[in-house]
């Protein structure tokens, strides 16, 4: 089973243009181990099966790879660590700040970060709208926020001049985009494919006008 999961992740990463080391692939599998074991006690995610976690959490997170901008990345509402932790594992040279307001999820991400020895990850237990870092971020990501307008309202202040906000969505969110404040500009709406899934996925790239 482990060998099959390893092969699935390796093939999926290659499809997404990533060349991951054996250690990185093992770390991604260990991340799934941690989510699965903790999910049995605390409700971290509605996805219960390992294949679902590998595809809908890990590989889904890695679809953001080619859109990352700069060295400082913030993941808003990271939940149990997605997309932030898979991206941090894949990009050890970048610094990731994972922001989560729910205490049990923030504690899980902190413990998992330590278990995986991710030295490039900082966990912040705060609501993103109340977080005022000393240094702004080159890329700000979000996967679970309800709308793009909410995303920029909660996290737009975290984005450095010239940076990018990346919203992960299912279907192309044209109605949501129409409600964006004028100070924000949609640079691109990218349709992406999660390896092994036919579900529709889009990544919306936003900058401050």
Nearest-CA neighbor of 66 among 161, 146, 139? Answer: 139
Contact between 53 and 45 (Cβ < 8 Å) = yes
State residue 166's pLDDT score. Answer: 98
Is the CA virtual torsion 128, 92, 144, 98 positive or negative? negative
Residue 205: strand, helix, or coil: strand
The angle subtended at Cα 132 by Cα 127 and Cα 138, nearest 5°, is 100
What CA–CA distances, in Å, run from 41 to 1, 36, 104, 164, 191? 23, 9, 11, 36, 35
Half-sphere exposure (CA, 13 Å, Cβ side) for 194?
A: 22
Residue 145's pLDDT is 81
Q: What's the confidence (pLDDT) of residue 146? A: 84
pLDDT at 107: 97
Cα–Cα distance list, 15 to 41, 49, 59 (Å): 34, 22, 10
Distance of CA 170 to the CA centre of its chain: 14
Burial degree of 93 (CB within 10 A; 0-12, 13-18, 19+): exposed
Q: What is the pLDDT at residue 112?
A: 97
Residue linked to tokens 């912040």: 124
**Phi and psi based region of residue 70 (left: phi greater than 0; alpha: psi -120 to 50; beta: remaining):** left
Give the Cα separation of 133 and 5 in Å (integer): 38
Q: What is the pLDDT of residue 43?
A: 80
Mean pLDDT of residues grouped by 10 in the chain (209 residues)? 91 96 97 91 84 94 98 97 98 98 96 97 97 98 91 97 97 93 96 95 95
Half-sphere exposure (Cβ direction) of 9: Cα atoms closer than 13 Å? 30
Domains of the chain are 2-208 (3.40.50.150)
């Amino acid at each position: 089973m482990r060998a099959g999961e390893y092969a699935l992740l390796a093939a999926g990463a290659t499809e997404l243009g990533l060349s991951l080391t054996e250690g990185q692939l093992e770390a991604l599998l260990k991340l799934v181990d941690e989510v699965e074991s903790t999910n049995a006690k605390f409700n971290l995610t509605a996805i219960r099966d390992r294949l679902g976690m590998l595809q809908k959490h890990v590989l889904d997170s890695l679809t953001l790879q080619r859109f990352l901008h700069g060295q400082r990345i913030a993941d808003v509402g990271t939940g149990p660590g997605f997309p932030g932790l898979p991206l941090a594992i894949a990009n050890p040279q970048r610094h990731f700040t994972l922001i989560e307001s729910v205490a049990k999820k923030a504690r899980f991400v902190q413990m998992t970060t330590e278990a995986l020895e991710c030295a490039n990850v900082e966990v912040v237990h705060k609501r993103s709208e109340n977080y005022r870092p000393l240094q702004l971020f080159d890329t700000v990501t979000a996967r679970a926020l309800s709308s793009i307008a909410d995303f920029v309202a909660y996290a737009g202040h975290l984005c450095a001049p010239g940076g990018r906000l990346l919203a992960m969505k299912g279907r192309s969110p044209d109605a949501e985009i129409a409600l964006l404040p004028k100070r924000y500009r949609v640079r691109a709406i990218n349709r992406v494919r999660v390896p092994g899934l036919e579900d529709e996925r889009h990544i919306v790239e936003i900058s401050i006008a």
